[in-house]
């Protein structure tokens, strides 16, 4: 049974890596956005943090949010959906399909987010935490996994890739804006700032900044556990909501 799970996961992962558009976006999106925004705002963030540091971190986080889009596409894109019919009617457990889509997208995004982070550090000396680099990286990957599972959940709820991606786009843009990925949200007032603190994306952002600039890992484990719990809940919901006939 686990061999079948591995073979499905292998196929889903390969499908992501052989899509040239997804590979291009995986490489170019976080790196180019960080460079462009860093260049446009150069000198505005003071001496202790450069604009490249700020957008190097935030664009990798924002790219993680787009894991939901990739997982939705890999779940129900027409090019992939039809071959998946063979899996639906094969003797496997029902939860194999949504879980393999989640894990495959996580592996895909983790590779390119890590690659973009390495390039940003080598080219622009972006600071990702020094002694706490591993913890920062783990939080970033946990966010990738959370949104990979969220994209699959949207497909299980709405049954159509187009509708799921429209909802995901709204959620992604709202979270990116409210979490301060593009600019500090203090300009929106205290009420929005207080609301933002309850968002998982803001929790990750604040925890990573604390580790990078204060060498403070106090929020690392609580944030990681919250993301893990939310991801687990989403996976359980996907298992409950997914029906094989959704592919027909």
> What is the average pLDDT score of the chain?
83
**Buried/exposed 19-30: b ≥16 CB within 10 Å, e otherwise:** beebeebbeebb
Q: Is the pTM of this model over 0.85?
A: yes
Half-sphere exposure at residue 219, Cβ-oriented, CA atoms within 13 angstroms? 20
Backbone angles phi, psi at 175, to 5 degrees: -65, -40
Kindly indicate the confidence band of residue 7, based on its pLDDT and cuts at 50, 70 and 90: confident
Q: What is the pLDDT of residues 40-70, one digit of tens each?
A: 877 666 666 778 888 888 889 988 898 998 8
Packing angle, helices 161-178 and 51-65, rounded to 10: 150
Higher pLDDT: 172 or 2? It is 172
Please tell me the distance from the alpha carbon of residue 231 to that of residue 204, in angstroms, as a whole number: 14
Mean pLDDT of 158-165: 82
Note the pLDDT of residue 145. 96
Contact 141, 204 (CB under 8 A): no
- Which of 15-19, 31-35, 100-104, 227-231 has maximum average pLDDT? 227-231
Higher pLDDT, 111 or 189: 111
Confidence of residue 218 (pLDDT cuts 50, 70, 90): very high
Burial class (CB in 10 A: 0-12, 13-18, 19+), 183: middle
Min mean pLDDT across 6-10, 185-189, 221-225, 242-246 is at 242-246
| Three-class SS of the chain | CHHHHHHHHHHHHHHHHCCHHHHHHHHHHHHHHHHHHHHHCCCCCCCCCCHHHHHHHHHHHHHHHCHHHHHHHHHHCHHHHHHHHHHHCCCCCCCHHHHHHHHHHHHHHHHHHHHHHHHHHHHHCCCCCHHHHHHHHHHHHHHHHHHHHHHHHHHHHHCCHHHHHHHHHHHHHHHHHHCCCCCCHHHHCHHHHHHHCCCHHHHHHHHHHHHHHCCCCCCHHHHHHHHHHHHHHHHHHHHHHCCHHHHC
Evaluate whether 113 touches 60 at the Cβ level (below 8 Å).
yes
Percent of the chain with pLDDT over 70: 85
50: left (phi over 0), alpha (psi -120 to 50) or beta: beta
pLDDT value of position 211: 92
The pLDDT, as a whole number, for residue 180 is 81
* Residue 231 predicted with pLDDT over 90: yes
Read off the pLDDT of residues 88-136 as tens digits, 9 standing for 90 and up.
555 556 667 888 889 999 999 999 999 999 998 898 888 887 888 999 9
């Amino acid at each position: 049974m686990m061999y079948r799970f591995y073979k499905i996961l292998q196929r889903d992962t390969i499908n992501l890596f052989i899509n040239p558009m997804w590979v291009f976006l995986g490489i170019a999106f976080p790196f180019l956005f960080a460079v462009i925004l860093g260049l446009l705002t150069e000198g505005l963030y003071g001496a202790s943090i450069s604009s490249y540091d700020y957008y190097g971190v935030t664009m990798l986080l924002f790219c993680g949010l787009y894991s939901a889009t990739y997982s939705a596409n890999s779940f129900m894109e027409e090019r992939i959906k039809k071959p998946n019919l063979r899996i639906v009617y094969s003797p496997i457990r029902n939860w194999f399909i949504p879980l393999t889509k989640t894990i495959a997208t996580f592996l895909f995004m983790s590779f390119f987010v890590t690659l973009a982070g390495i390039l940003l550090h080598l080219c622009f000396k972006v600071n990702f935490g020094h002694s706490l680099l591993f913890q920062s990286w783990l939080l970033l990957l946990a966010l990738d996994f959370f949104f990979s599972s969220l994209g699959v959940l949207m497909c299980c709820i709405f049954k159509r890739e187009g509708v799921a991606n429209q909802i995901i786009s709204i959620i992604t843009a709202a979270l990116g804006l409210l979490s301060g990925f593009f600019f500090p949200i203090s300009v929106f007032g205290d009420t929005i700032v207080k609301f933002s603190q309850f968002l998982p994306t803001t929790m990750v952002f604040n925890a990573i900044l604390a580790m990078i600039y204060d060498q403070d890992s106090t929020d690392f484990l609580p944030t990681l556990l919250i993301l893990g719990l939310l991801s687990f809940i989403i996976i359980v919901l996907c298992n409950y909501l997914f029906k094989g006939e959704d592919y027909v």
